[in-house]
Chains A and B, each alone.
Chain A
Amino acid sequence: MEGYNFAYLDEQTKRMIRRAILKAVAVPGHQVPFGSREMPLPYGWGTGGIQVTASILGADDTLKVIDQGADDTTNAVSIRRFFARTAGVRTTTRTAEATVIQTRHRVPETPLREDQIIVYQVPQPEPLSRLEPSRVQTKIMHALGEYGLMHVKLYEDVARYGQVSISYDYPVMVNGRHLMAPSPIPAFDNPKLDRMPALQLFGAGREKRIYAVPPFTSVRSLDFDDHPFRAIRAPHACGLCGATDCYLDEVVVDDRGKRLFVCSDTDHCATRREAGHSGADSLPEAAE
């Protein structure tokens, strides 16, 4: 784009961010402070993810951007356009075709490969933030590996509700050392982070932190031996493709409260339908 560098950020800034990424990869799950820049999109709308993506993007890359699992949600469209405009890279909605996937709130259902990078947008990188508001204190807790506060929170949940009541942004232990916020993905997606072949990068723009999970790194959701972690999803099949193992969106289809459940991952759902799968609510043409 006229007047701007490739992928918006200047090269010095990209180098600074890449150094932070390298450090983050070297210490899995550790939050690395970085000189987050003001971006033309607002804080909380993906500035961290955008800066990470801008710093790793090359001219040959193919970018996919999703929000809530879908390529066509407004914020995903906006970010995809931003890179199409500032970097001129190829974009795709196909998970398998993408080399870089930027996401908000979901991990694609299609397993990712070693030659792919997934970039998460992170609103709050500090997993202890709701329990301890002071970053000075939480930094000490991470340094000393003192996570008693989080375990107490889980204990209190089980004592009160009979189960851990966290349903998204469910805290994980990375490489057996650092407690990490997986970003507000549903807990259903947590198991996908464990030993994922793709490099996982997390960018928090407003809070100015970058962290990473290198390929094939252990990511364990916190739990108790007698209350093991359970990935929850709506107990239905996708109304469009019939999948029973995917995360579903709930759509209210009329004013009498009728609900329809459909795959949140639009690419996965479309791919399945192309392969001939169909659900109870799919259009007749799509079922053919």
Chain B
Amino acid sequence: MAYVAVKGGERAIDNAHAWLAEQRRGDTGVPEIAPRQIAEQLGRAVDRAMAEGAIYDRGLGALAVKQAQGDLIEAAFLLRAYRTTLPRFAYSLPLDTGAMHVARRISATFKDLPGGQVLGPTYDYTHRLLDFTLEQEASPPAAAETETDLAPMPRVQDILAQEGLIEPDALPGADDPGKPPADLTREPLSFPAGRDARLQALARADEGFVLAMGYSTQRGYGGSHPFAGEIRMGEVAIEIEPPELGFAIDIGDITLTECQMVNQFAGSKTVPPQFTRGYGLAFGHCERKAMAMALADRAMRAAELGEDVTAPAQNIEFMLYHCDNIEATGFVEHLKLPHYVDFQSELENVRRMRAEHEAAAQATRKAAE
């Protein structure tokens, strides 16, 4: 028989992508969704794509969600690939989340505190019943509004810090003054990985991974008795200081979710007992991510705080090498690329070993006869 090797990879790709585009659009009898609608009405999806895509731009986030047909890891991937091409013209000054224009702020450690508990837009306390009224277009009644004094709300850790009950803020460059914070988008991960690098990795990390690892610490795999000291979400101003100006300028506001976990610590011979902290920060309204991140951050500080490192969440190398879903999805999915050259060499290997095995068995049988 005659055989012609498989050809036509180019046309196959074009056809496949055309089909994908058609499927993305879906039934043309249904109006096409616009990125603006996604940004407005699927905001949490956009938030997650921005957090894991590591770029703050709601318009791009919405576009990525649309292009990815709502696959948020794919959307984050599109954003990462885009952000990497952007020139970097400045680094922002450290954010002051204490000056946040708060939309939500709760503490589980104090019943009331200066500034009060602000529930904000939350799924907490909703009953998870499918709301069939949403099948129809409807405008909800306006939410109640009230005057606020816009006074900054002190952060819970600052309240605890007044008594020295909690470890102080880890300032950038605390371990090595003069050293700029780590930037994993410029320099590869190396060990020992400082807390700056760890926090950056977690902030970009897959929400599901961080959630599971944070959860595992609550179930006994490296627990450290966490309390949600404070969770706050709202708008924070970004400032940069261009060298030619010599003073800081405000370049805009972004929405952030921040979580400060307060954790137990027994103290040591040299340090009196004191609460320690785990920290979480995410773009947009990503509360689950920020909380899980704070648990994971605290777990990864085990060695630094003289605790036994036994659980997966405390293993810095394990955590950092596996938390990034762009890395993970690429490598898992690359298994569908052809591997027939390698498989062929395995086939020949197994055949040869089986032949040698059979020859040896035959020789033994002959000898026995």
Kindly provide the distance from the CB of A160 to the nearest chain B CB, expressed in whole angstroms.
10
Collect the chain A residues with CB atoms within 8 Å of residue B353's CB.
Answer: 161-163, 165
* Mask of B60-88 contacts with A, CB within 8 angstroms, 1/0: 00000000000000000100110111010
Interface segment out of the listed B126-134, B159-167, B290-298, B332-340: B332-340
Q: In the complex the two chains form, is B13's CB within 8 Å of A239's CB? A: no
Q: In the complex the two chains form, is B9's CB within 8 Å of A77's CB? A: yes
Kindly provide the distance from the CB of B107 to the nearest chain A CB, expressed in whole angstroms.
37
Q: In the complex the two chains form, is B189's CB within 8 Å of A72's CB? A: no
- Interface size counted on chain B using CB atoms at 8 A: 51
* Mask of B324-357 contacts with A, CB within 8 angstroms, 1/0: 0011011111100111111011111100110010
Collect the chain B residues with CB atoms within 8 Å of residue A152's CB.
Answer: none
Q: In the complex the two chains form, is A72's CB within 8 Å of B9's CB? A: yes
Most chain A C-beta atoms within 10 Å of own C-beta, residue among B337, B338, B342: B337
Q: In the complex the two chains form, is B337's CB within 8 Å of A75's CB? A: yes
Collect the chain B residues with CB atoms within 8 Å of residue A90's CB.
Answer: none
A250–B338 Cα gap in the complex (Å)? 13
Q: In the complex the two chains form, is B338's CB within 8 Å of A39's CB? A: no
Segment 17-56 of A: residues with Cβ below 8 Å from B? 33-40, 42-45, 47
A74–B8 Cα gap in the complex (Å)? 9
Q: Does A109 contact B (CB under 8 A)?
A: no
Q: Does B196 contact A (CB under 8 A)?
A: no
Segment 1-27 of B: residues with Cβ below 8 Å from A? 1-10, 12-13
Q: In the complex the two chains form, is A34's CB within 8 Å of B188's CB? A: yes
Q: In the complex the two chains form, is B341's CB within 8 Å of A185's CB? A: yes
Take A37-B84, A76-B9 as given contacts and tell me if A251 and B3 are in contact as well, using a CB distance cutoff of 8 Å.
yes
Q: In the complex the two chains form, is B1's CB within 8 Å of A234's CB? A: no
Overall SS of chain B's interface: helix
Collect the chain B residues with CB atoms within 8 Å of residue A262's CB.
Answer: 3, 5
Can you name the residue of chain A whose Cβ is closest to the Cβ of B5? A262
Of B8, B77, B87, which is within 8 A of A42 by CB? B77
Q: Does B268 contact A (CB under 8 A)?
A: no
Q: Does A248 contact B (CB under 8 A)?
A: yes
Q: Does B317 contact A (CB under 8 A)?
A: yes
Take A44-B333, A232-B345 as given contacts and tell me if A260 and B3 are in contact as well, using a CB distance cutoff of 8 Å.
yes
Kindly provide the distance from the CB of A43 to the nearest chain B CB, expressed in whole angstroms.
3
| Size category, A interface | 35 or more
A164–B52 Cα gap in the complex (Å)? 43
Can you name the residue of chain A whose Cβ is closest to the Cβ of B184? A35
Q: In the complex the two chains form, is B342's CB within 8 Å of A283's CB? A: no
Q: In the complex the two chains form, is B191's CB within 8 Å of A135's CB? A: yes
Kindly provide the distance from the CB of B21 to the nearest chain A CB, expressed in whole angstroms.
16
Q: Does A282 contact B (CB under 8 A)?
A: yes
Q: Does A271 contact B (CB under 8 A)?
A: no
A and B contact pairs by CB, cutoff 8 A, 8 listed: A35-B185, A35-B188, A43-B330, A43-B334, A68-B340, A77-B13, A234-B344, A249-B341
Interface residues of A (CB under 8 A from B): 4-5, 8-10, 33-40, 42-45, 47, 67-70, 72-78, 81, 104-106, 123, 134-136, 161-163, 165, 167-169, 184-188, 206, 208-209, 232-234, 239-240, 247-251, 253, 260, 262, 264, 266, 269, 281-284
- Other A-B contacts than A10-B85, A186-B341, A281-B1, 12 sampled, CB-CB below 8 A, are A5-B85, A42-B77, A42-B329, A44-B333, A74-B13, A136-B317, A161-B353, A167-B342, A167-B346, A185-B341, A247-B341, A266-B5
